[in-house]
Amino acid sequence: MSASISSYARKIWLLYYDGFREMTIGKTLWVIILVKLFIFFIVIKFLFFPDILSRDYDNDNERADHVRHELIDNPRRFHSPEKQ
């Protein structure tokens, strides 16, 4: 049973390996996709999601205290408004 699973895995691997190796236009498309993913996840993260806790607090204890205070002492902030 183990030998047949490994042979199937090898066949699947060779199928994809040969397919990607023989690509011409597909390689260019993959490069475009990877560049877009880099822009989305790396560049946009630094532009729109600054590390506010590191900026406003000096050490981990102060950051943890702030998060704890926001989660425990201000629970109404995270609840939806009650219907009247």
Split at pLDDT 50, 70, 90, the class of 2 is low
Split at pLDDT 50, 70, 90, the class of 10 is very high
Higher per-residue pLDDT: 47 or 61: 61
Q: pTM of this prediction?
A: 0.44
CA 72/CA 79 separation, integer angstroms: 12
CA 65/CA 74 separation, integer angstroms: 13
Predicted local confidence at residue 52, as pLDDT: 85
Do residues 52 and 66 lie in contact, with contact meaning Cβ atoms separated by under 8 Å?
no
For 19-39, write each residue's pLDDT tens digit: 888 888 888 898 999 999 999
Residue 65 pLDDT greater than 50, yes or no: yes
Angle at 66 between CA 62 and CA 71, to 5 degrees: 150
CA 63/CA 54 separation, integer angstroms: 8
